């Protein structure tokens, strides 16, 4: 059976094979071209720079989700972790805490939330959907209680001297590059290393591929699986702090829409790999596409409803195409 399919695949027309491999990316480019034709401003350097700047936050968050999902987990709490981390940073800043605390405490929180997720899911065996959904709501309640019912934490009214260094992450630039884009690049490189060159990556791929076999091969599957959630929590909290640094305001629940975008980024990313795997590269491009898409929609005057519907539709489309690929 297996050899038969290989043979058939090899003898397929070249064009069809190429289309299958590159079709999705062509489709994505096509959509962006349509935007460019409808709104020439879409391709202006300023707009592209703006989109790259915005996309960093989504992409950083999506990387964490990608790692978890590659192990057949799912983390519904990442957006909420990002939200709470950003909020925490804002509150700390408003209370005049030193900068290093403003940065490290929210990230420690992200690690902790990820750890609790990991313990629930990998050690207690709670299905990932349920465990992280529960976490999402616990964090949300915490945020609401902390801010006395979702009061925005406004930072841009603070004296400039207090906030300059904090805002650098989201608003500053190093040479011609925005600091946020550079942060995205650094995280991207780090994640490439983590997911390719580490023993964790190998073990994680084994857990995602066949957890039972990995277990019998002497892999500590619980620790590896939990590790993914810790990483996701870490990346989400970095993204959350960066978001507040960019927008100068922390609105409780403001980061929640990122959850949908992150899912769309990861699932779209699978289309870009030949075998439909979840990869960091794919997630990067998926995240860029999603941000370009929402930017284009905004330029066309189409708001949140279209974003929701299109992102949801893209997730379904990506899965449907993947299913066809595999059925074939």
Q: How far apart are CA 112 and CA 118, in angstroms?
A: 10
Ranges within 47-86 binding other proteins (CB under 8 A): 69, 71-74
Q: Is 246 in the site for other proteins (CB under 8 A)?
A: no
- Token digits for 142? 């915490």
Which element (helix H / strand E) includes 178?
A: strand 177-178
**Virtual torsion, Cα 190, 196, 201, 207, nearest 10 deg:** 130
Cα atoms found within 13 Å of the Cα of residue 97, Cβ hemisphere only: 16
133 forms part of the interface with other proteins (CB under 8 A): yes
d(CA 315, CA 275): 17
Under rule CB under 8 A, residue 198 binds other proteins: yes
Residue 8: burial class (beta carbons within 10 Å; 0-12, 13-18, 19+): exposed
User: Does 211 participate in binding other proteins (rule CB under 8 A)?
Assistant: yes
Residue 122 per-residue DSSP state: I
| Closest distance to other proteins from the beta carbon of 165 (Å) | 31
Q: Minimum distance between the CB of residue 73 and other proteins, rounded to whole angstroms? A: 6
Tell me which of 61, 140, 245, 246 binds other proteins, using CB under 8 A.
140
Q: Among 85, 88, 135, 179, which residue sits at the site for other proteins (rule: CB under 8 A)?
A: 135
Judged by CB under 8 A, how many residues of this single chain contact other proteins? 84
Q: Which stretch binds other proteins (CB under 8 A): 92-100, 102-110, 176-184, 206-214?
A: 206-214
* Shortest Å distance, C-beta 23 to other proteins: 17
Using the contact rule CB under 8 A, the part of the chain among 10-18, 106-114, 125-133, 236-244 near other proteins is: 125-133
| Angle, alpha carbons 233-198-221 (nearest 5°) | 65
Under rule CB under 8 A, residue 16 binds other proteins: no
Question: Of 56, 166, 203, 287, which one interacts with other proteins (CB under 8 A)?
Answer: 203
User: Applying CB under 8 A, does 210 fall inside the site for other proteins?
Assistant: yes
Q: For the CB of residue 274, give the shortest distance to other proteins in the complex, in Å.
A: 11
Q: Is 209 in the site for other proteins (CB under 8 A)?
A: yes
Nearest to 108 by CA among 129, 89, 123, 134: 89
- By CB under 8 A, residue 130 contacts other proteins: yes
The secondary structure of 222-271 as a DSSP string is: HHHHHHHHHHHHHHHHHHHHHHHHHHSEE-TTTTTTHHHHHHHHHHHHHH
Q: Tell me whether residue 40 or residue 209 sits nearer to other proteins (CB atom).
A: 209
Q: How far is the CB of 202 from other proteins (least distance, A)?
A: 5
């Amino acid at each position: 059976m297996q050899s038969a399919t290989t043979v058939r695949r090899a003898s397929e027309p070249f064009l069809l094979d190429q289309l299958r491999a590159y079709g999705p990316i062509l489709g994505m480019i096509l959509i962006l071209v349509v935007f460019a034709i409808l709104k020439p401003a879409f391709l202006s350097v300023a707009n592209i720079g703006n989109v790259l700047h915005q996309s960093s936050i989504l992409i950083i968050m999506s990387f964490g989700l990608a790692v978890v999902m590659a192990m057949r987990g799912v983390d519904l709490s990442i957006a909420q972790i990002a939200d709470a981390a950003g909020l925490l940073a804002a509150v700390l800043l408003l209370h005049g805490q030193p900068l290093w605390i403003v940065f490290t405490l929210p990230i420690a929180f992200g690690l902790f939330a990820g750890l609790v997720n990991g313990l629930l899911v990998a050690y207690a065996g709670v299905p990932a959907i349920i465990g992280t959904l529960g976490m999402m709501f616990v964090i949300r309640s915490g945020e609401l209680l902390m801010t006395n019912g979702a009061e925005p934490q406004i930072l841009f009214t603070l004296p400039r001297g207090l906030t300059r260094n904090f805002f650098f992450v989201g608003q500053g630039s190093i040479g011609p590059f925005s600091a946020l884009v550079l942060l995205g690049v650094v995280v991207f490189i780090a994640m490439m290393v983590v997911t390719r060159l580490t023993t964790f990556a190998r073990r994680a791929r084994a857990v995602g591929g066949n957890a039972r076999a990995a277990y019998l091969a002497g892999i500590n599957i619980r620790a590896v699986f939990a590790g993914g959630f810790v990483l996701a929590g870490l990346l989400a909290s970095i993204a959350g702090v960066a978001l507040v640094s960019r927008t100068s305001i922390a609105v409780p629940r403001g980061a929640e829409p990122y959850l949908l975008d992150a899912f769309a980024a990861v699932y779209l990313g699978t289309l870009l790999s030949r075998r439909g795997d979840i990869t960091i590269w794919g997630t990067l491009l998926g995240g860029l596409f999603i941000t370009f898409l929402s930017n284009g929609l905004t330029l066309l005057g189409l708001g949140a409803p279209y974003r929701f519907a299109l992102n949801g539709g893209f997730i379904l489309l990506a899965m449907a195409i993947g299913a066809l690929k595999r059925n074939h």
